[in-house]
Amino acid sequence: MSSTKRANLYTRYPLSSIVTYNGTTVVHYVLGGIGIILGYNSLVGYLLGSLYLAFSFVEMYVHMPLKVCPNCVYYKLNNSLCISGLNVVSRKVAKEGSVEDFKKRAQGLLCP
């Protein structure tokens, strides 16, 4: 007997999903920074760990809304809210892009 489960599709993710997504993202970055600091256990570790944290947060909460989100379908949907909630921020700080360019987010050396 086979049971098929269908995925929930949202145009507005619930607040609990957004908090979970962003919470786990922040924990991931913080643990990574702590791991680098503890791994090197020196001034170099503190420097690299701090740089990692700064880079990670800038990548997620500055670069994404400015360069990636404008090309996402959630940017264009009226009254939408994506899993990160960054489409709302992006609408306020960036001009609309092209959905065709969304795939480019996975190209390049330091791509998101």
Q: 2 in a domain, yes or no? A: no
At 29 the pLDDT is: 97
Please name which of 106, 70, 83 lies closest in space to residue 7, comparing C-alpha atoms: 83
Please name which of 63, 71, 68 lies closest in space to residue 98, comparing C-alpha atoms: 71
Q: 7 in a domain, yes or no? A: no
Separation of alpha carbons 38 and 28, rounded Å: 15
Could you list the residue range(s) of the whole structural domain that residue 41 is in? 15-106
Separation of alpha carbons 70 and 85, rounded Å: 13
Q: In this structure, what DSSP letter does residue 64 have?
A: I
Q: Which structure tokens are listed for 41? A: 């256990």
Please name which of 99, 22, 97 lies closest in space to residue 67, comparing C-alpha atoms: 97
Please name which of 105, 21, 109 lies closest in space to residue 64, comparing C-alpha atoms: 105
Q: Count of domains in the chain?
A: 1
One digit per residue, the tens of pLDDT, for the chain of length 112 reads: 566 778 878 899 999 999 999 999 999 999 999 999 999 999 999 999 999 999 999 999 999 999 999 999 999 999 999 999 999 999 999 999 999 998 888 888 777 6
Q: 74 in a domain, yes or no? A: yes
Q: 95 in a domain, yes or no? A: yes
Q: 9 in a domain, yes or no? A: no
At 1 the pLDDT is: 55
Q: 102 in a domain, yes or no? A: yes
